[in-house]
Amino acid sequence: MDLIKNIRNLYNPIQPTVKQSAGNVTYQEFLPDQSIQSYIYCYWQLKTSRPLDDPFFYRVVADGCIDIFFELNNPEESFVMGFCKKYTEFQLDNSFNYVGVRFLPTMFPQLFRIDASELSNRFESLNLVIPQIAHFIETHFCPGIANPQIKIIFDKYFTELLHHVDSQPDPRLHNAISIILAKDGSVNIETGLDTGLSPRQLRRLFHFYIGDSAKTFSKVVRFQNILRGMPSQILHSGKSLMNGYYDQAHFIKEFTNLYGITPGKALDK
């Protein structure tokens, strides 16, 4: 359990604040019950306060997590989005109310015994992956439910779920992840993760529990560390080089791949 708690202590994934459309689109994160915070980073809600003039393009940056999400006005359809090694952009309608659950790295596979690599870089109907949760969402959510009630419903469900889950993380995997997080992703994968795992074991465990390689996960963690330091770390190229980027061009290319826009444009958001 201490290893599981360590992930939350070391990692705070960020989704940049939505650039509001005339103040009519809001994004909010709220914490789950403390007893499940080691598994679930947050619940979140993305919604319009009034219909927009045009469809809304929502960009999700790479954060190393797996999310469940659904439209509160249509809970019959829910989805799971896996680990993504680059940004993802969604075209939404001009009116929406999305609710989601963001699981910390490794936690979704631990709870549901799902191979994370089977979900990587895409989203899938939750009914095809974990039908019991899809059914729960369909039968417990409806339009008009506010944040406090969303939290109560999810807290009760996931708290009870944990009582029936035998979560036994491989301590060597979690030690490797802890090293990557503690070093903000700036680690030599071949020489800096000596936790007793062979390269083949390390690759297999990372693909199952994270959804991609240790190297790709480290890139995402390093990127997330840059986001936490914005704007200072973007403005000071020396800082970005210290974080493991070869040069400024490498930094800009990787940042753009993970965020969807250049660092300079991100500063204007």
Domain ranges within the chain, ordered by starting residue: 16-162, 171-267
Distance CA 57, CA 69 (A): 17
Assigned architecture for domain 171-267: Orthogonal Bundle (1.10)
Query: According to the model, what pLDDT value does residue 229 have?
Result: 80
Sequence length of the chain is 269
CATH number of 16-162: 2.60.40
Q: Residues 71-108: pLDDT tens digits?
A: 999 999 999 999 999 999 999 999 999 999 999 999 99
Distance CA 30, CA 1 (A): 23
Query: According to the model, what pLDDT value does residue 245 have?
Result: 75
Distance CA 269, CA 253 (A): 18
In this model, does residue 236 exceed pLDDT 60?
no
43 strand-pairing partners:
30, 101
Q: Residues 37-65: pLDDT tens digits?
A: 999 999 999 999 999 999 999 999 999 99
Three-state DSSP at 127 gives helix
Confidence at 28, pLDDT banded by 50, 70, 90 = very high
- b/e burial code for range 240-269 (CB count within 10 A of at least 16 → b): beebbbeeeeebbebbbebbbbebeebeee
Query: According to the model, what pLDDT value does residue 247 have?
Result: 78
Confidence at 165, pLDDT banded by 50, 70, 90 = confident
Decide which of 266 and 89 is more confident. 89
| Amino acid at the residue 116 | A
